[in-house]
Amino acid sequence: MRFSETALALDSIDLNVAEREFVTIVGPSGCGKSTLLYLIGGFLKPTTGTLSLRGKPIIGPGPDRGIVFQRYSLFPWLTARRNISYGLEELGVARADRERIVAEHIRLVHLQGFEDRYPRELSGGMQQRVALAQTLVCKPDILLMDEPFGALDAQTRRILQDEMRRIWHSNTKTVLFVTHDVEEAIALGTRVVVMSSRPGRIKEVIKRDFDVADGDEFEASPQFAALKLRIWHSIKEEVEAARS
Amino acid sequence: MPSRTETVGTVLQRTLPLCTLLLAWELVARTGLVNAYVFPPISTIVIRWISLFVSGSVFSPLGATLWRALAGLGAAIAVGAPLGLLMGRTRWAQWFFEPLFSFFFPLPKIALIPLYVHLFGLFSFSKIMLIFTDCLFPIVIFTYHGARGVSPIYLWSAQARGTSQVRIFWRVVLPLSLASLYDGIQVAVVVAVLVAVVSEMISGGGGLGHAMMLAFRYGDVPSAFAFLVTISLIGFLLYKATQLLRDRLLFWHVTETET
Amino acid sequence: MKLVPLLLVAALWQAASVSGLLPPAVLPSLSSVLAALVSLIRSGEIFPHTAVSFLRAGTGFLLAVVFGTALGLAMARLPAIQRGVEPILLSIYPVPKPALIPLFMVWLGIGDVSKITVIALSCLVPVVISSFNGARAVDDLLLWSARARGTPEHRLLWRVVLPATLPQIATGVRTAIAIALIVMVSSEFISSEHGLGYLIFTYGGVGSDDAMLAVVLYLTAIGFLIDWVYVAGLRRLLAWHAFAH
């Protein structure tokens, strides 16, 4: 993927994502992980190569690939409820059904009582819950998440990670989750993709071979620590290689 | 870095719509599609404009308008800046003056022309008074908000170093309020020219506005246009001058975000 | 509370007039001005003029807001339109719009059309500028978020760009209101047979200063009311926006 004469953002990415996988993508800053997500989302067009979802080529954005950004996913002029129902309105869903589905999703992301607030009245964590809900209502085939918890404080981030895991278990969607936080990547992803520094290539793909139950005990486990160290060293290699 | 040819190209692109419009005007006027009396060709206007300068007949009205605008503006600054500062730093001044300015702000001060003519006559003085009144508002309001917005951190820092209240005012509040004052001046400059011209159009007494009205009254549309162009240029040049001066006068100014 | 300073000034004025410090030849007393205002209202004389003035100003203003918003948004979305319109706007910008009144009267006659046109043109500039700048500042991610949820290209302007730009448009419109009033009065001073400006001018001309000031006061009050209602309405309509004022 070339941005211009001099900026090659991504180079020879070849990735297959199976259904119902939770794939996290980590890598050094500037390696193009967000770019990869935007390509899949259809917001950018690849300069070479093809992208396809379920065998069909990707031509532009659409509700089959839902996306949650770090910020600005929500429309500030709509309440949480209206933001969530927006996708349904665009799909032409009837009003009674809309109301039911929206209520379901508000319960899903634990936002009861806050439906009629505007984004500016919601905390960062709550805004991201709305962002998640508004994307899920469109029943996307794949959920793209671009460092969704990156702008939140550490505590809120942990809580939302647990929420994310819970929601994924109950909904089991295919998720592609970009983050710079290695712990987050391991805590959420069944497969972790490590990218090289710019131009971004896939350096390695690691399958998480232990289970991560809800709760915090797994953080103390030796497998977790070992995997975290392994991935972090892999990234550090890239950062140092880029510097020289 | 855009190449040389690129920037020339973009310049052409920007002036093209204007040039096409002017060309269309010229052609439409010359071919008689419209009454050339009320819609003189651009070339005629330009020639007339140049002749006004060559003959020198533009300078007297130009000088009058400029003098009135600047005098009124100067008076507004002299009175408005201290007043704005006072309002920003003293409770009673804020309490008393803010409602007054808020209430009279929506009134088009132009409506006071007949009153001012009655009080101050038909010539420069009444116009200067009106310009003073009109320019007072932006200057006071900007200075007031600027003085109010002075970050407490600067003040505490000065107090911690044992500076007296008066000195704090001179050495902290004043410089920081100057930037806001200048914003107000930039707005007021445009207002000054506008009010000068409009009051001349209505109450006469010389100046570009009056000259333009006379030209219309005598059916000399090209000259009227020429005066209109001169009026616009004055406003534009004065505003540009304040913009350019800003960097030189406020070179020490650090914007909030940088601190 | 906030009215007290106004009342104080009013009291000072009245005191000055009554005590003889301010002779009626210079400035009529507040009481005579208020009496004149009351009689103008009682006789109903002031209302047709109010209607005429504000009908003119309102029409020009509304035309400018509708057309200006559309133009500003179009300029932000389609660079071709921006390149075409921007230079023309920039050349109109430095012209003091009331100075165009006599020209437009030559072109369009001395009736309402010329006045409405100048008012519309004057109000156009702040509205276009604010809607253009606002639309340009709409974060790309908002548009992407809309597209990813099924919004087709042609509906983006209406569904996303316009609501996102409303706060800035509202600020431009507030300026436009003030400009509309200024041009309204100026045009009526220059030539008119009806309207509040006409009343002020005529009363001033025949020396009925108390009636003239009565209309000025009346106009001030209306202007204040319009602005107040506008800001209050804005607070409700734009409740979602973090408004400082």
Tell me whether residues C212 and B114 touch, CB distance under 8 A.
yes
Domain annotation covers residue B193: yes
User: Does A145 share its domain with A128?
Assistant: no
Whether residues B82 and B181 share a domain: the answer is: yes
Is B149 within 8 Å of chain C by CB?
no
* Higher pLDDT, residue B22 or B9: B22
Would you say residue B213 lies in a domain? Answer: yes
Predicted local confidence at residue C243, as pLDDT: 58
Query: Is B210 among the domain residues?
Result: yes
Contact residues, chain C, for A150 at CB < 8 Å: none
Tell me, yes or no, whether B1 and B91 share the same domain: no
Interface contact C149-A41, CB threshold 8 A? no
pLDDT of res. C36: 93
Question: Tokens 């710079």 sit at which residue?
Answer: A180
Q: Do B111 and C200 touch (CB under 8 A)?
A: yes
Q: Does residue A38 have a pLDDT over 50?
A: yes
Which of these, A88, A114, A212, lies nearest to A161 by C-alpha position? A212
Q: Which residue from A76, A177, A7 is spatially nearest to C141, judged by alpha carbons?
A: A76
Q: Which domain holds residue B3?
A: 1-39
Asked whether the predicted pLDDT for residue C80 surpasses 90, the reply is no
Give the residue on A whose Cα is nearest the Cα of C147: A61
Whether residue A74 lies within 8 A of chain C, CB to CB, comes out as: yes
B82 shares its domain with B154:
yes
- The number of domains in chain A is 2
Other CB atoms within 10 Å distance of the CB of residue A35? 21
User: A151 with A180: CB under 8 angstroms?
Assistant: no
Q: Does the structure's ipTM exceed the value 0.90?
A: no
Comparison of pLDDT for A79 and A5, the residue scoring more: A79
pLDDT, tens only, A109-147: 999 999 999 999 999 999 999 999 999 998 888 899 999
Chain B residues close to C2, C-beta within 8 Å: 99, 102
What's the confidence (pLDDT) of residue B253? 62
User: How many angstroms separate the CA atoms of A240 and B231, rounded?
Assistant: 64
| Structural domain total, chain B | 2
Question: b or e along C93-106 (b: 16 or more beta carbons within 10 Å of the residue's beta carbon)?
Answer: bbbbbbbbbbbbbb
Same domain, A129 and A152: no
What is the CATH superfamily name and number for domain C28-237?
MetI-like (1.10.3720.10)
| pLDDT at B259 (0 to 100) | 35
Residues of chain B contacting C197 with CB distance shorter than 8 Å: 111
Q: Is the pLDDT of residue C47 over 70?
A: yes
Inter-residue contact A192 to A210 (CB < 8 Å):
no
State yes or no: pLDDT of C244 exceeds 50. no
- Please tell me if residue B213 touches chain C, with a CB cutoff of 8 Å: yes
| Residue A168: pLDDT over 90 | no
Residue B250 pLDDT more than 60? yes
Give the pLDDT confidence score for residue A105 in this predicted structure.
92
Which chain A residue has the Cα nearest residue C237? A77
Q: How far is B21 from chain C (nearest CA, A)?
A: 9
Q: For the segment B149-186, what is each residue's pLDDT rounded down to a tens digit?
A: 766 666 677 777 776 777 777 777 777 788 889 989 99
Chain segment A193-208, per-residue pLDDT in tens: 888 887 778 888 888 8
User: Can you give the pLDDT at residue A3?
Assistant: 59
One domain for residues B28 and B68: no
> A155 and A230: one domain?
yes
* Best to test chain B binding among C97, C114, C185 (most B CBs inside 10 Å): C185
- Judgement on whether residues A134 and A172 belong to the same structural domain of the protein: no
With pLDDT > 70 as the criterion, what percentage of chain C qualifies?
98
B54–chain C nearest CA distance, Å = 23
- Please name the member of A63, A71, A119 whose beta carbon is closest to the beta carbon of C149: A63
Judge: A69–C239 Cβ closer than 8 Å, yes or no: no
Asked if pLDDT for residue A4 goes beyond 70, the answer is: no
| Mean local confidence (pLDDT), B52-61 | 89
Please indicate, yes or no, whether residues A189 and A218 belong to a single structural domain of this protein.
yes
* A182, containing H or E segment: helix A182-188
Show residues of chain C in contact with A139, CB under 8 Å. none
Closest CB to C87: pick one of B14, B224, B225: B14
pLDDT at C92 over 80: yes
Same domain, B70 and B105: yes
- Cβ contact, residue pair B108, C223, below 8 Å: yes
Q: What is the pLDDT at residue B256?
A: 42
Query: Same domain for A163 and A122?
Result: no
Domain that holds residue A79: 74-139
Residue B195 lies in a domain: yes
Q: Are B74 and B25 found together in one domain?
A: no
**Structure-token match 């009343």, residue found:** C199
pTM, two decimal places? 0.85
B167 CB neighbour count, 10 Å cutoff: 11
Count of pairs with CB atoms under 8 A, one residue in A, one in C: 69
Q: In chain B, what residues touch C213 (CB-CB under 8 Å)?
A: 115
Lowest mean pLDDT among A30-34, B128-132, B233-237: A30-34
* Same-domain check for residues B129 and B81: yes
Both A242 and A162 in one domain: the answer is yes
Whether residue A231 sits in one domain with residue A119: no
Are residues A60 and A50 part of one domain? Answer: yes
Q: Does the residue A96 lie in any domain?
A: yes
Dump pLDDT digits (tens) for B84-143: 989 988 889 999 999 999 899 999 999 999 999 999 988 899 999 999 999 999 999 999
Return the SS3 of A199.
Answer: coil
Indicate whether B146 and B233 sit together in one domain.
yes
Residue B82, domain CATH: 1.10.3720.10
Question: What mean pLDDT, rounded, does chain A reach?
Answer: 85
- Let me know whether A227 and A107 are in one domain: no
Decide which of B21 and C124 is more confident: C124
Window 17-56 of A, Cβ < 8 Å to C: 41-43
Asked if residue B65 and residue B10 are part of one domain, the reply reads no
Lowest mean per-residue pLDDT among A218-222, B115-119, C80-84:
A218-222
SS3 annotation, chain B: CCCHHHHHHHHHHHHHHHHHHHHHHHHHHHCCCCCCCCCCCHHHHHHHHHHHHHHCCCHHHHHHHHHHHHHHHHHHHHHHHHHHHHHHHCHHHHHHHHHHHHHHCCCCHHHHHHHHHHHHCCCHHHHHHHHHHHHHHHHHHHHHHHHHCCCHHHHHHHHHCCCCHHHHHHHHHHHHHHHHHHHHHHHHHHHHHHHHHHHHHHHCCCCHHHHHHHHHHCCCHHHHHHHHHHHHHHHHHHHHHHHHHHHHHCCCCCCCCCC
**Residue A228 domain-assigned?**
yes
Contact between B14 and C83 using a beta-carbon 8 Å cutoff = yes
A120/C147 Cβ within 8 A: no
Domain membership flag for residue A69: no
What is residue C200's predicted lDDT score, i.e. its pLDDT? 93
pLDDT tops 60 at residue A5: no
State the SS3 of chain C: CCCHHHHHHHHHHHHHHHHCCCCCCCCCCHHHHHHHHHHHHHHCCHHHHHHHHHHHHHHHHHHHHHHHHHHHHHHHHCHHHHHHHHHHHHHHCCCCHHHHHHHHHHHHCCCHHHHHHHHHHHHHHHHHHHHHHHHHCCCHHHHHHHHCCCCCHHHHHHHHHHHHHHHHHHHHHHHHHHHHHHHHHHHHHHCCCCCHHHHHHHHHHHCCHHHHHHHHHHHHHHHHHHHHHHHHHHHHHCCCCCCCC
Chain C residue closest in CA terms to B120: C26
